[in-house]
Structure 1
Amino acid sequence: MGPLAGKVVLVVGASAGIGADTARVLAADGAALMLVARSAGPLAELTAELREAGHEVAYTTGDVSRAVDVAAFVEATVARFGRLDGAFNSAAMTQGGRLDEVPEDDIDRILAVNVKGTWLCLREQARVMEKQGSGSIVTVSSIGGLRGSSGMGAYQATKHAVIGLTRTAAHDFGPLGIRVNCIAPGPTESPMLDQTRLAIPGGVEKRIAATPLRKAGTGAEVGAVASFLLSDRASHLSGVVLPVDGGFLA
């Protein structure tokens, strides 16, 4: 038993990093999970790990930038478990470089994944939850969605957009019984943070040094907040953007 016992949660972007670590937390808190990412291999490994620990887990693949894929993995969740109580939308890509130096193709791709992908997930998940009359969705932005800095402008623009989508969805879907909230992590140990370290040498360490807790976060710490937002303990929270950043924005 746990705070998510009896709930079915879809974790999008579950192959590594924050998504995978959050899946572990949600499973431990009692949720039945459908895991989604583009590559089957890491999902199969995580599914085996969680099943061995006694959790109810399935997986499927899909690209969040493709409407047909998003509809398919939402439908697969309902077909497998019979309902959809919660969703954690963490699929994203990063992009370094000064704004005037980012290739147009890269802009198109990061917008398709981070912004369009979030919108597609919200749309398809809300369609199912509306029929049930309830549901909770958590999106993932970044502290880069709440402020700016040099060298990550394309990524930060998309994370600002995720916050806008979340707040609008909270208004649109609230009357349907659906809560929509957003987590804005600070530097969090993950493959994406390693990419940022390569894109902006020294930038991550400088940000960590400016964080009151003087450390990067972990995916499990983000997952604990996601579990709270997805649970009935957060029943009167919607439209919230919650930094999980060690105090960086304080």
Structure 2
Amino acid sequence: MGQLDGKVALVTGGARGMGAEHVRRFVAEGARVVFGDLLDHEGTALAAELGSAVRYVHHDVTSEADWSAAVSEAVTHYGRLDAVVNNAGILRFVPIAEMALADFTTVMNVNVTGTWLGIKTAAPALAEAGGGSVVNVSSVEGFVGAAGLSAYSASKFAIRGITKSAARELGHLGIRVNSLHPGGIATPMTAAVSGASGVDGDGFFASLPIPRWGQPVEVSHVAAFLASDAASYCTGGEFVVDGGMLTGCGY
């Protein structure tokens, strides 16, 4: 038996990278999953791979209409909604002095507004199901800053605050809300950052207590735990999956 047997989940940014691993892991644990993205080609391919346990929807997380449609898809086709993984996110690697306001605003809209809208829109369906779980994907940059990532870091700090406020507001409805903080995970997005920054990613991660890049599925295991009944007394928490990156300086 899987730890998510009988549950229905909604995953954003699920077409590739870490989001796709969340979808695969949740299905492997027995869940049925609606997942959304803007990458329709990759999304439909993943849906074809996984079959009737999933449904793909085109989903702009900054759109109230798209959020309503995604939640409706879960309830209409699978009968309920038990978990939401707010995974969709973007970054721009640009120093503050060179960053356009429009780029800063875009990052904040997707990462922060998208997460907030997800909680707001899904909460009634989660409550109707008797309660559920929201997993907000933040980052280690939600605890520390990084040069060139001012907008991304600001957005990931904000997700921590939204998570704690939502946990306070929604607990009486049986809805748990936690944040998940990946470190250096081998995904297309982190590969792009390494290239843009000129940082030797392999060399940096070799200095960690767990001296390697993390794999997306290692984050997905924690997301599945938080969505499951095994995490029934966890809310407002911050769950770090970073190979020890935040333990301190490497000396």
Residue 56 of structure 2: SS of its match in structure 1? strand
RMSD of aligned C-alpha atoms?
A: 1.2
> Cα distance, 1:133 vs. partner?
2.9
Equivalent-residue separation in structure 1 for 2:204 and 2:157 (angstroms): 19
How many pairs are equivalent?
247
Aligned to 2:109: 112
Aligned to 1:48: 48
Q: Supply the AA of the counterpart residue of 1:5.
A: D
Q: 2:159 aligns with which of 155, 159, 162?
A: 162
Equivalent-residue separation in structure 2 for 1:56 and 1:4 (angstroms): 12
Residue 249 of structure 1: SS of its match in structure 2? helix
Q: Judge conservation of contact 2:37–2:43 (CA < 8 Å) in 1.
A: yes
Equivalent-residue separation in structure 2 for 1:91 and 1:201 (angstroms): 25
Q: 1:94 aligns with which of 72, 85, 91?
A: 91
- After superposition, residues 226-245 of structure 1 pair within 5 angstroms as 226-245=223-242
Q: Supply the AA of the counterpart residue of 1:135.
A: G
Aligned to 2:199: 202
Q: 2:78 aligns with which of 81, 88, 97?
A: 81
Q: Judge conservation of contact 1:184–1:243 (CA < 8 Å) in 2.
A: yes
Aligned to 2:121: 124
Q: Supply the AA of the counterpart residue of 1:230.
A: A
User: Are residues 1:4 and 2:1 paired?
Assistant: no
Where structure 1 has 5 or more consecutive residues not aligned to the other structure, the ranges are none
Out of 40-49 and 173-182, give the one that drifted further. 40-49
CA offset digits 1:152-179 (Å, max 9, x no partner): 1111110001111111111111111000
Where structure 2 has 5 or more consecutive residues not aligned to the other structure, the ranges are none
> Cα distance, 1:192 vs. partner?
0.6
> 4+ residue runs of structure 1 moved beyond 3 angstroms?
203-207
State the TM-score, normalized to the length of structure 1: 0.95
Q: Judge conservation of contact 1:196–1:204 (CA < 8 Å) in 2.
A: no
Equivalent-residue separation in structure 1 for 2:201 and 2:146 (angstroms): 12
Residue 245 of structure 2: SS of its match in structure 1? coil
Q: 1:67 to 1:206 in 2, by over 3 A?
A: farther
Equivalent-residue separation in structure 2 for 1:239 and 1:208 (angstroms): 29
Q: Judge conservation of contact 2:202–2:212 (CA < 8 Å) in 1.
A: no
> Cα distance, 1:102 vs. partner?
0.9
Q: Judge conservation of contact 1:170–1:181 (CA < 8 Å) in 2.
A: yes
